[in-house]
Structure 1
Amino acid sequence: MSRIADLYAGLTGWLFEHALQPLLYALGLMDWAEDAYAWLDFALFGLFGILVVVAVCRPLEAWRPVEPRTDRRAVRTDMLYTFLSRLGLLPLLAFILLASAQTAWEAWLTETGLLPPTLEELLPALRDHPLLAFAAYVVILDFAEYWRHRAQHGLRWWWALHAIHHAQRQMTFWTDDRNHVLDDVLAAVWFGAIALLIGVPPGQFPLIVLLLRLAESLSHANVRLHYGRLGERLLVSPRFHRLHHAPLSAGAQGKNYAVLLPVWDWLFGTADFQRGVFPPTGTPEEPEALASGGWLRQQAIGLRRMFGALAGR
């Protein structure tokens, strides 16, 4: 892993030195060099994540699709969502807006002595077993993601944003990133805060993100795939998550919220283990533009609906 990390760091440094830095110098933007390097690092990692997802999910969709790709425009819109989200263009904006707030927050916690103990401080044995520690971090973050997902459905203002994700009738592995920008920012803040709270090491954080994103993309894939009676209860499958995207599962009455481990749905009474069922997807009661509109229109509608929900309309 250290060898891979060194190669990745070397590639990032080479691209910054030979491509991005000369451009910044020519435009007189060298004051932004540090932020630009952070964006490049994020964008390369996002590109790698896209390549991994395509390599895994596209052959599966070609093998046993649930339905034919009849609405390619909707799929292209989802692809735009993915590239904007994972290549760092929109996260860069969030980084600029939130970086100063994060620094001030961490400084205040340090000064007041309120920094809570990390997971490895609570369980020192994990320091000698990095794979076990990695698994523990994944389980805790997956548990946190389950409750964030339930909040997206249970809070009216948050559902107004999250409905964009559920409106897709032509669901593919690209649909995973079909989210409102504000929804993505809230999710990133939630996930990052939990990771900081339990002390996820910086070297393991990207691997956890890659694992969970691959799991989410696969669960959205247009593939007639399930993991059997036992496997369905161990890992979220495309069939399990497709039931979550069925029209009857929209809003607060949703089922199958888990990202990676269905055990959370089983424990908290939101599991639907119907076997052999691959229903159509979408939200017929929501505005048609959320399903067939372009990226900018969907963003505007989501924001307007959120403010309407907050105002009680």
Structure 2
Amino acid sequence: MIAAIEDLYDQVTAWIFHAWVQPVMYELGLMAWADDAFDWVGFFLFGVVQVLVVALVCLPLERWRPVERWDSRRVVWTDITYTLLARLGLLPLLGFVVFSGAAVAIEGAIADSGFVPPTLETLLPGLREWPLLALALYIVILDFGEYWRHRFQHQFRWWWALHSIHHAQTQMTFWTDDRNHVLDDVIAAAWIGIIAVAIGVPPAQFPVILLVLRLAESLSHANVRLDFGRVGERLLVSPRFHRLHHGVLSVGNSGKNYGVLLPVWDWLFGTADFKRDHYPRTGDPGAPAAYVSGGWLRQQGEGLREVWRALRAPRGG
């Protein structure tokens, strides 16, 4: 099934490139960049798929049983800007160029050394016969890594200065998932990329994993009064479970419910809060005004200033 989806994806990417992108590049004399442009078309198409899947799932839910209704949605449009820039715009293009070059250099260094890093399938050879089981295990391991990255975002003062942009939103919707500082996104991409390489995630499965985690994160931020029941709440992160994490009384290092997909990590490490029928007001009361009501550019600039202040502040201050 994964192979069939990959083939269809490659065919659509090739059609878009040959029908629309290549003629323009030829006219502009940019064919030396054709290979990079083809890769970018695939990346762009993947971003479109992510946005469409998430919107098709989350928009009807938010209209069905919203937690809050607002007269003005201006700050929500800022979050939509974040999503479009993160998934379709210049930011992922820059990230793709940087990280693809770094990946080639790292892979070349490993190949020259003769070292073959152990992967999940070398440790458990039977997984080669069970691709869906392997996919599930990759998701669990990466989700575990995301839990700890999220906890570190709240633990280290300089990192919280960046992550507070995400928590400052007082009108949280599924678009809020992408409300992050560019530096925070770079760290996140490197974090999950390093773990994926270390455990040997196949290139064909990595986009599927990203789509699963992306859908889970967006749904958990949705403005919808929804939980998964007493049992389900302990199996998958719900909008109610994650909203407790975004509550005004759960900011900084006092937070709960860090899980992205699976609440089991919060349960195991003592950070779970399973309060039922509780949907608190969201936001970070200590955040700069720009984090709350500023536009994308203003928030990015203020984020850099806040990180600098956090790094210069005396320990314990």
2:44 is equivalent to residue 43 of structure 1: yes
Aligned to 2:110: 109
Q: Are the structure 2 counterparts of residues 308 and 109 from structure 1 closer, same or farther at C-alpha, using a change threshold of 3 Å?
A: farther
Distance 2:260 2:223 in 1: 17
Q: What is the distance in 2 between the residues matched to 1:273 and 1:42? A: 37
**Which AA in structure 1 matches 2:133?**
L
Whichever residue aligns with residue 117 of structure 1, its letter is P
Supply the distance in 2 between the matched residues of 1:100 and 1:44 (Cα, whole angstroms).
Answer: 21
Partner of 2:148: 147
Aligned-partner residue type, residue 198 of structure 1: I
Aligned to 2:207: 206
Residue identity opposite 1:278 in structure 2: Y
TM, length-normalised to structure 2 = 0.95
Correspondences of 1:35-74 after superposition (within 5 Å): 35-74=36-75
CA distance in 2, matches of 1:262, 1:113: 40
- The 5 Å alignment of 1:74-223 reads 74-223=75-224
1:6 Cα deviation (Å)? 2.1
* Letter matched to residue 47 of structure 1: V
User: How many Å separate the matches in 2 of 1:70 and 1:256?
Assistant: 29
Q: Quote the Cα distance in structure 1 between the aligned partners of 2:66 and 2:286.
A: 26
Secondary structure, aligned partner of 2:249: helix
Moved over 4 A (4+): none
Q: Distance in 1 between matches of 2:211 and 2:297?
A: 27
Q: Contact 1:47 / 1:87 at 8 angstroms: preserved in 2?
A: yes
Following superposition, the deviation at residue 78 of structure 1 comes to 0.5
The CA distance in 2 between the partners of 1:9 and 1:101, in whole Å, is: 24
2 CA distance for matches of 1:92 and 1:75? Answer: 24
User: What is the CA distance between 1:115 and its match in structure 2?
Assistant: 3.7
CA RMSD in angstroms, aligned pairs only: 1.3
What is the Cα deviation at residue 96 of structure 1? 2.0
Q: Is the 8 A contact 1:166 1:245 kept in 2?
A: yes
SS of 1:233 mapped into structure 2: coil
1:14 alignment counterpart = 15
- Give the distance between the partners of 1:99 and 1:216, measured in 2 at CA: 25
CA shift, 1:88, in A, is 4.8
Q: Tell me the amino acid that sits aligned with residue 46 of structure 1.
A: G
Paired letter, 1:23: V
Which residue of structure 2 lines up, in the alignment, with residue 252 of structure 1?
253
Between the aligned partners of 1:101 and 1:35, the Cα distance in structure 2 is 15
Deviation for aligned residue 1:104:
1.9
Q: CA deviation at 1:267?
A: 0.6
In the alignment, residue 257 of structure 1 is paired with which amino acid?
Y
Q: What is the rounded CA distance, in whole Å, between the counterparts of 1:226 and 1:298 in structure 2?
A: 32
Alpha-carbon offset, residue 187 of structure 1: 0.4
Aligned partner of 1:300 in structure 2 is 301
SS at match of 1:249: coil
Instruction: Confirm or deny: 8 A CA contact 1:224 1:278 kept in the other structure.
Output: yes
CA displacement, residues 239-273 of structure 1 (integer Å, 9 cap, x when unaligned): 00000001121111111000000000011111111
Q: Which moved more, 1:285-294 or 1:88-97?
A: 88-97
**Structure 1 residue 97: deviation in Å?**
2.5
Q: Where do 5+ consecutive residues of structure 2 fail to align?
A: none
3-state SS, counterpart of residue 16 of structure 1: helix
Structure 2: distance between partners of 1:267 and 1:252: 18
Q: Which amino acid aligns with 1:242?
A: R
Q: Partner of 1:265 in structure 2?
A: 266
Cα shift at 1:33: 1.7
Determine the structure 1 residue equivalent to 2:292.
291
* Number of residue equivalences: 313
Deviation for aligned residue 1:69: 3.2
> Match for residue 234 of structure 1?
235
Give the letter for the 1:19 counterpart.
W
Deviation at 1:177, TM superposition (A): 0.5
1:98-119 per-position Cα deviation (integer Å, ceiling 9, x unaligned): 3333222222233334442100
Corresponding letter in the other structure for 2:123:
L
C-alpha distance in 2 between matches for 1:40 and 1:70: 38
5+ residue gaps, structure 1: none
Question: Secondary structure at 1:248's aligned position in 2?
Answer: coil
Conserved? CA contact 1:71–1:170, under 8 Å: no
